Structure 1
Amino acid sequence: MKADFAVRNFSELIAAVPFLLGYHPHDAVALVGMRDRLLDFGACFDLPPPDLDEAAARAEFGEVAAAIHRQEPDAVVIIGYGRPDRVTPAMLRMAEALLTLGIRIEDALRVHEGRWWSYACDDRDCCPPEGTHCLPPDSVIAAEATYRGQVALPSRSDLIAQLASVDGPARQAMTAATERARSRFADLVSGSADMKRIRRAGRLAVREAEKRYRSGGVLTDDETAWLGVLLADPRMEDYAVDRAGPQEWRAQLWTDVLRRVEPVHVPAPACLLGFTAWMLGRGALARVAVDRALDAEPGHELADLLHRLLGFAISPEMVRRWRR
């Protein structure tokens, strides 16, 4: 995730990482890219299993390093989260992969149970063997991130849960609304199917949804179901993608639609959320949304494209530079 955080020391950097990622890492390795003395981006992956063979480990860490290299950072800080017996082997492999590509490592840190240690510093005055206390949850860094509207959920599982489908009475209401939307669509294309009418209805539904969320409103069940049915047409999905932009209200729009539509209509709003999150620099959210799209429809064209975009760590800024 893009951040442009200014930090003065490693304690502040560690406090900023959950807001870079959108969640607090556990049993994971995070990489923070630095540019012009600012935190430029963050990436995170789970610790590999202990029994992972050497060839597979080299390939896995090599892919991560290549993705970081494409971001062109001035330097990288590696942060491992967990016990030393699990974290240290992963840190060594990650450092080797980064150095092989000529990426400068500012430092390598380990965080566990409210303390942090440096692998590179053995000065007892600044890096005591018992570790350094992490900043409290109400630190200045946390307050600044919250003021910016950034959040740090307790774990990645909580991020996934935020995009889960609604259930109970809300699901029952959406199932009924979807049946009405399908009947409405059947009436729209009855007789000789007029594609202009479908496109007109789809564009109107997208624009109305954008207008509603831009002004702080929400869609009704019937409006959400109607939009979901229309977005099943790839041309309507493309129309919504063409209108996408890095606005938080768009992320809220597609999050709501994704959670409320019936499972068969999940791919389009999931992709639209993923694309919006990518433009906002919220990589973890983008990844979770794209994964939902692919789970619902393996091989979905736009989801597959976004999956590769995220896998190659191509940032919006890189695209803007290519355009220039």
Structure 2
Amino acid sequence: MTTLTSPHDLLAAIPFLIGYHPDRSLVLVSLKNETIGMAMRVDLPSDIAPESYDLLASHLVREEADGAFIVAYSGESESDAESAVINTSAALIRAGLDIKESLVVRNNRFRSMLCTDLTCCPPEGSEIPDLDTSRIAAEHVIAGHPMPYESVEGLVQSIAAVPSSFELSWQDEVLAFIVSSDAEELNDLQRDGATAIIDLAGEYREGRGAEDRELVARVIGRMSDIQVRDFALGSHSEESADHYWSMWHQLLRIAPRGFVAPIASLFAAMAYERGEGALAHKALDRALDDDDQYSLALLLRRVFTAGWPPHSFTAMRAELHPKVVATIFG
């Protein structure tokens, strides 16, 4: 993330950090050694206990942040936003964090809660410039990042099932590769699933994507096995992450009902590691809609809600992967 040098930069960065333009929201952006860390968004709180604000602050402390930005996107009453900023500021101060800026946004105007100079911070606020005129937006687009969605509904739609996922013939193709836990040739099926994942990732690396329908069905079906799923969880490297990201994103949208939870959970884990917390939680919504008792999705929900630093999850995944490889390939 580039350096944020003004309120305009901060307001332009937030939609990229959370994936969409927030509304009626409280957003915290962490800083560590002047470097942007994670961004947290919650519904604009009202009339809640101080301990709840302390919990928000604790997530930044866990990430070893030394400072933070606060932005409250107002609803009908601007006083709710002001109260949220004041209570959040108090919690951050109690946690020993430096508040770099705190803004209230309403009706496409913003004002700083820290600035007392009426010439640059008038009481009625200042107009927010169009995002596409921002230096921050230009730098993100040049880096290959997509423009943020206009609302959370757009974010949800980006990972929704496509009509072809409901075709009976496609469901039958995937079902042919399901792995039964009591299968006599279980280890052979697990090896086949792990190999299929590697082969399909190679297809995406070469730009062919999901052209091989049988290979795609094999990956989705074999992911019904926990060992194959756990292999997939650690199979990408920093160099191959973009190919795997595209692969799991597309497979999430085309997976038939009953096969969504493993892929959605895996996609959520990748999203969280990339700093896309909102997308990670929405992917878990899809997983739990498919199977409300899916253990990995429930675990990830607890991990994400607890505010685990993404790098800690990356380290855990890297430690687990060699053990899974040894189990599958001996």
State TM-score, norm by structure 2: 0.86
Identity among equivalent pairs (%):
27
Query: Given the alignment of the two structures, is residue 163 of structure 1 paired with residue 159 of structure 2, yes or no?
Result: yes
* Matching residue within 16, 23, 27 for 1:26: 23
Match of 2:86 in 1: 92
Q: Tell me which stretches of 4 or more aligned residues in structure 1 moved more than 4 Å.
A: 318-323
Residue in structure 2 matched with residue 143 of structure 1 by the alignment: 138
Q: Say if 2:273 and 2:313, in contact at 8 Å, map to a contact too.
A: no
Which residue identity does 2:158 align to in structure 1? Answer: Q
Q: Secondary structure at the match of 1:69?
A: helix
Check the 8 A contact 1:224/1:260 in 2, yes or no.
no
Q: 1:96 to 1:184 in 2, by over 3 A?
A: closer
Instruction: Spell out the pairing of 1:195-214 with structure 2 (5 A cutoff).
Output: 195-214=186-205
**CA distances 1:126-152 after superposition (whole Å, capped 9, x unpaired):** 211221222222222111111122231
Match of 2:35 in 1: 38
1:119 aligns with 2:113: yes
Provide Cα deviations, 1:69-103, integer angstroms capped at 9, x if missing partner.
Answer: 21122211100012413312222222222222222
In the superposition, relative to structure 1, how do residues 115 and 227 fare at CA in structure 2: closer, same or farther (>3 Å)? same
| AA partner of residue 227 (structure 2) | R
> Match of 2:225?
233
The 1:8–1:315 alpha-carbon spacing in structure 2 relative to 1, beyond 3 Å, is same
Q: What is the match of residue 2 of structure 2?
A: 5
Of the candidates 207, 211, 224, which is equivalent to residue 216 of structure 2?
Answer: 224
Contact 1:75 1:105 in 2 (8 A): yes
Map of 2:234 onto structure 1: 242
- Segments of 5+ residues of structure 1 without an aligned counterpart are none
Aligned residue identity for 2:189: I
Partner Cα distance (2:7, 2:303) in 1: 30
C-alpha distance in 2 between matches for 1:292 and 1:58: 32
The one of 172, 192, 195 equivalent to 1:179 is: 172
Task: Tell whether the 8 Å contact from 1:70 to 1:314 is kept in structure 2 after alignment.
Answer: yes
Distance, in Å, in 1 between the alignment partners of 2:221 and 2:229 is: 11
Question: What is aligned with 2:259?
Answer: 265
CA distance in 2, matches of 1:320, 1:193: 34
The answer to whether the 8 Å contact 1:267/1:296 transfers is yes
Structure 1 match to 2:328 = none
Which residue of the other structure, out of 270, 283, 287, is the alignment partner of 1:293? 287
Cα distance, 1:318 vs structure 2: 4.2
**Residue in structure 2 matched with residue 256 of structure 1 by the alignment:** 250
- The count of residues paired between Structure 1 and Structure 2 equals 310
- The alpha-carbon deviation at position 159 of structure 1 amounts to 0.8
Q: How far apart are 1:153 and its partner, in Å?
A: 1.0
C-alpha deviations, 1:152-175, integer Å up to 9, x for none? 1111221111111112xx2344x3
Closer, same or farther: CA 245–304 of 1 in aligned 2, 3 Å? farther
Compute the displacement of 1:248 (Å): 2.3
More displaced stretch, 107-116 vs 259-268: 107-116
Q: What 5-or-longer segments of structure 2 have no aligned partner?
A: 319-330
Check whether the contact 1:244–1:276 (CA below 8 A) recurs between aligned residues.
no
Q: 1:298 to 1:314 in 2, by over 3 A?
A: same
Change (3 A) 1:238 1:321: closer
Deviates more, 1:198-207 or 1:299-308: 299-308
Do the aligned partners of residues 28 and 296 (structure 1) sit closer, same or farther apart at CA in structure 2, a change above 3 Å counting?
same
TM-score between both structures, scaled by the size of structure 1: 0.87
